Amino acid sequence: MKVRNKVIVVTGGGSGIGRELVLNLLVRGASVAAVDINKAALEKVVELSGDRKDRLTTHAANITDKEAVKALPREIISQHGVVDGIINDAGIIQPFVRLRDLDYEAIERVMDVNYYGTLYMTKAFLPQLLTRPEAHIANISSMGGFLPVPGQTVYGASKAAVKLLTEGLSLELLNTNVRVTVVFPGAINTNIAANSGVNISQQMENARGLIKMLSPSRAAQIILDGIEQNRYRILVGSDATFMDIICRLCPRHAARFIYTRMKMLLQE
């Protein structure tokens, strides 16, 4: 689906990949409803949008609140008239600890934001999308959704759930006007740790410096190019592309490969 002259909803639109998706969509001629829990971050997006801000609305909402999400379609349609697509980008990571040391509050928070937030948004907007001549749903999973990462077991489980949710939905909508895409970003240079409330140790900062990361703006460009091509799945970054191949050829080897390179991230 070409995004020009379409109305697209983007969650996590206040920072990171989400913010770059919003700005890139505006450049491509779309109108955008940016959703984020952080009102100040949304105000910054308006500032960055410059003379395109007349095609941008912002909506401060907690996507883990089912009732708040149910109210979003009416709110956004009242301002834009229609909705042609949604990009579910909002997500958080867990503290870099083993499952045995991860408390239930952190587990539930990760699942609520990453999985249930995506599910609530999809269900809330799907009836509207089905009325459009063409429409699109893109859900952001993660390389961690098909590849286990030490210290991110629950995060990976949440993103694997997003993967299968999206792939199942794609089958259900085969004979409709709604196309569905699942996205697998690799290492992207965002502030997801800080936005997730996860403390980063100096050791972890040093490890980050050894990993080649893609910029959020480049990630957004790859994602939107894929959406406009109605791609079934989008791999974002050479690391995601490489590990996808390795995982298909030898899953156990791929898992051990990533463990040897990322085990230093585990907080003891």
pLDDT tens per residue, range 41-94: 999 999 999 999 999 999 999 999 999 999 999 999 999 999 999 999 999 999
Token output for 190: 């965002």
Query: What pLDDT does 43 receive?
Result: 98
155 in active site: yes
Which of 104, 115, 155, 259 is the catalytic position?
Answer: 155
Tens-binned pLDDT, residue by residue, of the chain (268 aa): 999 999 999 999 999 999 999 999 999 999 999 999 999 999 999 999 999 999 999 999 999 999 999 999 999 999 999 999 999 999 999 998 999 999 999 999 999 999 999 999 999 999 999 999 999 999 999 999 999 998 999 999 999 999 999 999 999 999 999 999 999 999 999 877 676 777 655 445 555 554 678 999 999 999 999 999 999 999 999 999 999 999 999 999 899 988 888 777 775 5
Token output for 12: 């996590």
Domains detected in the chain? 7-265 (3.40.50.720)
**Look-up: residue for tokens 């997801």?**
192
Query: What pLDDT does 260 receive?
Result: 87
Query: What pLDDT does 202 receive?
Result: 44
Which ranges of 87-129 would DSSP assign to H, the alpha helix?
A: 104-111, 117-129
> What's the burial of 189, exposed, middle or buried (CB within 10 Å: 0-12/13-18/19+)?
middle
Spatial CB neighbours of 45, under 8 Å, sequence gap ≥ 6: 13, 14, 19, 22, 23, 34, 56, 58
3-class DSSP state of 182: strand
Contact (Cβ atoms closer than 8 angstroms) between residue 83 and residue 131 = no
